Amino acid sequence: MTNPVNSRLIHRYLDYQCTPEEQAIVEAYLLLPEGRDLLDAVLDERLQADMEENSRAEVPSGKKDRWFRQIRERMGVDEEGTAKLRPMRRWMKAAIWAAVIGGAGWLGSQLLKTSGSSSQVVMASKQTANGSRAVVRLTDGSVIHLGAGSRLRYPEEFTGASREVFLEGEAFFEITENREQPFMVYTGEVRTTVLGTSFKVSAFNGLTASVAVATGKVRVDHVKDGRQQELAVLTPGEELNWEQVSGKRAVAAVKAADVEAWKGGRLVFHNKPISDIATELERWYGVKISFRKPGIAHQKITVTLSGAAPLEQTLQLLAAGGGFRYTVKPGQVDIQ
């Protein structure tokens, strides 16, 4: 049988873009000797791409020599920059393997970018099921309100030049200001960078990613294979929507108060299809919502709901705005 794991799938795994089924296949394959050889090859590619990208960046001339010495040391090349890459240091491979076999995904690629320190980052994680939320308090004083059906990975202690966390799903961030240690949120190929502010990130697999700012300012970048592209710099009352497949992006005006109110359960939808609203409610209430008539699913409405209210009350408001009827069974809502 043909091996389903190739370098492209490994890249997707490191960028936290695999489906649960693909993730299980990759992690099983990486336990084999040939899997480890393929991972080493992919990591070598990333290191090389990182060096090539950095070599094109404009940096102050006074720092350039020192910067290239650090690059050469990290990449394992000689003074001319032409020697063959040497094998990775043992500590780096051990750290990456600990992350990969533990299912950290994005952490594996990020360890390559922080290879100037030999201490291994100890990661913690918090995951919520549909119908539940959580509050995560970080050691720097920052607070993260994790939405339903979401997962957050974060260091137990912030020790590097930046504070980096990894999100799959939806969360509202209240970040303690530290200009010497910027805060970065990685969601697949999107990185959101802040110094001290509050903002909301939504990045579910297969759906449009969004970043909305309540206070302060954030920068959002598309990061892939060691390269980055600025998507937007957002200020309070602005929201970026980005479609990963098409690369389409748009910045829209939102109410900063609505962005912040999300952590308390306020759900504001402006001209959204009822199907999109239903998807959000499925996560908040842990139910399955189906449509008898496709026309209702595609209908767009503007409505404000409370995810903290009982399901029946929320459905009544949504039905009034959408002009439909519904029936409720345990774990199931049928919209007619």
Record the pTM.
0.63
- Report, as ranges of residue numbers, the positions in the chain whose pLDDT lies below 70: 1-3, 16, 20, 47-120
pLDDT of 104: 40
Task: With residue 150 as reference, give the H or E element that holds it.
Answer: none
Note the residue count of the chain: 336
Reduced to 3 DSSP states, what percent helix, strand and coil does the chain have, rounded to the nearest 5? 35, 30, 35
d(CA 181, CA 195): 7
Query: What CATH architecture is 265-335?
Result: 3-Layer(bab) Sandwich (3.55)
**DSSP string covering 60-74:** -HHHHHHHHHHHHHH
Read off the pLDDT of residues 86-139 as tens digits, 9 standing for 90 and up: 344 443 444 344 444 444 444 444 444 444 444 567 889 999 999 999 999 999
- Give the per-residue pLDDT at 82: 40
State the pairing for strand pair 183-187/163-174: parallel
Which tokens is 105 given?
């995904």
Do 133 and 145 form a contact (C-beta atoms < 8 A)? yes
Residue 238 to residue 301: CA distance in whole angstroms: 21
Q: What number of CA atoms fall less than 13 Å from residue 83's CA on the CB side? A: 12
**Domain map of the chain by residue range?**
1-120, 122-259, 265-335
CATH class, domain 122-259, is mainly beta
Copy the structure tokens of residue 112.
């390559």
Copy the structure tokens of residue 164. 């980096």
